[in-house]
Amino acid sequence: MNPVNIGAADLEALWLTLRLAAVTTLLLLAIGVPLAWKLSHWQSRWRHGVEVLITLPLVLPPTVLGFYLLLLFSPNHASGQWLAALWGEPLVFSFTGLVIASVIYSLPFMVQPLLASFSQNGKRLTRAAAALGMPPHAALLKVLLPASRPAIVSACALTFAHTLGEFGVVLMIGGAIPGETQVVSIALFQHVEALEYGAAHRLALVLLVVTTALLLLARWLGRAVSATSREERFMGVPG
Amino acid sequence: MELTLPLFRRAVQSLDGDGLSVQGLVTSLNTDTPWQLALPAQGVFGFTGPSGGGKSTLLAALAGLRGCTGKIGFGNVTWQSGKSGLATHRRDLSLGFQDSSLFGGQTVADNLALAHRYSRRPLSPEERAELIECFGITPLLRQPVELLSGGEAQRVAVLRQLFSNAAVQLYDEPLAAVDRLQVIRKLLPRLRDFWARHPALVIWTSHDFDEIQLLATQCLWMERGALTGPLPLREVTRRLQLDSLERESCFSRLEARVLCQEEGLLTLSLGDATLYADRVAGRYRAGQSIAFLLGSGDIGLCLEQPGLSSILNCLPVELREIVPLEGGRVRLRLAAGEQEFSADISRLSRERLQLREGERYYAQFKASSLAGL
């Protein structure tokens, strides 16, 4: 029925993982762009502190982050009760909890490339836009974002791929509830523990192929514009 | 390419105010010599001086893009008072940067459309199309700006600034990388024509004196952080010559009055003499006073009035000065009435004709050598 013969539970895990990665990437894009824009303009000694905070998930062991989130979300603590009351259901061992954790965990993968691009081009382009009468929000949306397209594409690809591979954080706050919190990396781990190497092979291969394809796609998207135009130029299009 | 976009107009400031006034403007560059400047609300002013003198700094400070203190006002709007200033996009100005600063990741057409969309005085579609054609941008419209050469990028940047059509237009060495002949024969006359139709206060920064003398009659001078001006062009020539002889322009600016124009051939009167210019792009009306450039290499000298010749222009001149140049040539300073201009001839011609300072001769040049019309 399916070419790589993946079980129904594994397919569900795969679908859950893709959903998690997609939601996380979209949320992070919405958070990351204004955050990086503000940071690139921010002339304060606090800027370094905030940048360190954003970079922290990059170096912090995922289990440490997961542990603190578990405490935060736990219904045994006031914070967890408050969050559960706010959301309507406990966040721990839930898809929503996973999304929040993923957003924090992948934050540097979205913000760092954007920040680098905004800091490099941002000042020059915003000044040029203002000097043509464009207000700041127009400078961001109509000048800076189009100019930062390669950085945005690569930031999204990195975030998506990074979320696909999440393990430690999910293990701590999500567990392995099929269809709710059992992501591919957890399912793979469970197959290996149960000595089901065939199923493990199949899942691992799917992840390998998907992530490789994703990175190739990102490279292609980032270069598509300049490559075609350069070709045109060599073909003798006037210019 | 279609550039029609939804128009949204913002309050347009009236152009007949007091003009630009700068009082006691201080940046980190000129802590000892605060800048003072008073310019009318309309007119084109050159801006030159040795490199590193602070020209770009003054322009950025006027635009509110660098820290400064002092007072800047345009018309009845205060742009800067003390340390606090109006945000750049709220000032009715445009500033073009030396590096063009085109918007990356977009095409040339996108760049122009953005400038048009945020313009306080949007140009008509016909005028936009005509400007794009004149600046030679038509084949580039669909190109991403990353693929433009330096000269192409500069032409797009100037055009983008014209589309913005602000009340105060600041240009920072805008055409330095564009082919000289194209600039003098085509772009500058078109710019002059544009500002005649859309009056604005223009400050045109350049190291090329030809550009300045073709566009402006007065010029600002910045040297080691000290701003002077506006000065008459003659004074600026003197200062440039003090700098070095090589910097002396090989084009001279002459003024004449239009007699008539027929099918691209323009007839002018300069003193008692009649001059002809062909391949004229602009439209002029009889009686109008216009300026043009004459290349020093395009002029020949005769001892006596020549007979009929295909060289249409013959001007009685007085030889004021002979300056030896490098490479076996001499530069003659000639005067026709009040106006002075330069002609470069070979040392051999000078010996054969036995030219002497103070004598009267006839200067001949072709109708096609009157540049900038």
In the prediction, which pLDDT does B13 show?
A: 45
E strand or H helix that includes residue B188: helix B188-197
A225 — contact with chain B (CB < 8 Å)? yes
Residue B144 has what DSSP assignment? B
Mutate one of B1, B13, B114 to test the A interface: name it (highest A CB count within 10 A): B114
Angle at B139 between CA B134 and CA B140, to 5 degrees: 95
E strand or H helix that includes residue A179: none
Domain that holds residue B59: 20-249
Q: Which residues of chain A have pLDDT under 50?
A: 1, 225-239
Q: Which residues of B touch A133 (CB under 8 A)?
A: 89, 92, 94, 118-120, 164, 166
Does B228 lie in the same domain as B286?
no
The first and second tokens of residue A136, run together, are 């700041």
Does B184 lie in the same domain as B228?
yes
Does B361 lie in the same domain as B221?
no
Domain count of chain B?
Answer: 2
Indicate whether B55 belongs to any domain. Answer: yes
Does B260 lie in the same domain as B197?
no
- Domain A22-40+56-222, CATH: 1.10.3720.10
Does B219 lie in the same domain as B309?
no
In the prediction, which pLDDT does B12 show?
A: 46
Q: Which residues of A touch B104 (CB under 8 A)?
A: 121, 125, 146-147
Does B263 lie in the same domain as B119?
no
Domain finish residue from B249, B282, B297:
B249
Q: Which residue pairs, CB below 8 angstroms and at least 24 apart, start in B342-346?
A: B342/B248, B342/B249, B342/B250, B342/B252, B342/B296, B343/B296, B343/B299, B343/B300, B343/B301, B344/B250, B344/B296, B344/B297, B344/B299, B345/B299, B345/B300, B345/B301
Can you give the residue ranges of every domain in chain A?
22-40+56-222
DSSP collapsed to 3 states, B346-372: EHHHHHHHCCCCCCEEEEEECHHHEEC
CATH number, position B170: 3.40.50.300
Radius of gyration of chain A (CA): 21
- For residues A218 and B244, give the distance between their C-alpha atoms in angstroms, rounded to a whole number: 55
Question: Using one digit for the tens of pLDDT, what is the confidence trace for A128-150?
Answer: 999 999 999 999 999 999 999 88
* Residue B298, CA distances (Å) to B46, B257, B260, B366 in order: 25, 21, 24, 8
Of B105, B118, B139, the CB nearest to A132: B118
Mutate one of A132, A144, A223, A226 to test the B interface: name it (highest B CB count within 10 A): A132
Of B97, B120, B140, the CB nearest to A133: B120
pTM over 0.80: no
Q: Which residues of A touch B63 (CB under 8 A)?
A: 130-131
CATH number, position B352: 2.40.50.100
Q: What tens-digit pLDDT sequence spans chain B (373 residues)?
A: 444 444 444 444 444 457 999 999 999 988 889 999 999 999 999 999 888 889 999 999 999 999 899 999 998 899 999 888 899 999 999 999 989 999 998 999 999 999 999 999 999 999 999 999 999 999 999 999 999 999 999 999 999 999 999 999 999 999 988 888 788 878 888 898 899 889 999 999 998 888 888 888 899 999 989 999 799 887 887 787 655 445 455 788 888 999 998 877 899 998 888 999 887 767 788 888 888 888 888 899 999 888 888 898 999 999 998 988 877 888 899 999 888 888 989 999 999 999 999 999 999 999 888 877 7
Closest CA to A212 of A170, A159, A157: A157
